[in-house]
Chains A and B, each alone.
Chain A
Amino acid sequence: MVNPDSHALVSARAAGAYRASAKALAEEPEEIVRLVKDSGLRGRGGAGFPTGLKWTFLPKNRDATYLCVNADESEPGTFKDRLILEKDPHLLIEGIVIACHAIRCAHAYLYIRGEFCLPYERIRAAAAEAYAAGLLGPNAGGSGQPIDLTIHRGAGAYICGEETALLNSIEGKKGQPRMKPPFPTNVGLFGKPTVINNVETLANLPFIVENGPDAYRAIGTEKSPGTRLMSVSGHIEKPGVYEVAHGVPMRGLIEDLAGGVRGGRKLKALIPGGSSTPVLTAEEAYAVNVDFESVQATGSMLGSGGCIVMDETTDMVWALDKLAHFYAHESCGQCTPCREGSGWIAEIVQKIAAGNGTRKDLEKLESLAAQIVGNTICVFSDALAMPVVSHVTKFRAEFEAHLADRASSSAAP
Chain B
Amino acid sequence: MQLTYTDKQTAFRAEARAWLEANVPSKPLASYDTREGFEEHRAWERKLYDSRWSMVMWPEHLGGRGCDLIEWLIFEEEYYAVNAPMRVNQNGQLLLGPTLMEFGTEAQKQHFLPRIASSEDMWAQGWSEPNAGSDMAAIRSKAVRDGDHYVVSGQKTWSTRASFADWTFGLFRSEPNSQRHHGLTYLMVPLNSPGVTIRPIKALNGKEAFAEIFFDEVRVPVENRIGAEGQGWNVAMATAGFERGLLLRSPARFQHTAKRLIELFKANPEVAARDPGLRDAVVESWMGAQAYAYSSYHTVGLVQKGGKVGAEASVNKIVWSELDLKMHETAMRILGARGELRGSAPEAVDGGSWLEGFLFAQAGPIYAGTNEIQRNIIAERMLGLPKA
Task: Decide whether A and B are members of one complex.
Answer: no
Binding site for B on A (CB under 8 A): none
Interface set of B (CB-CB < 8 Å, partner A): none
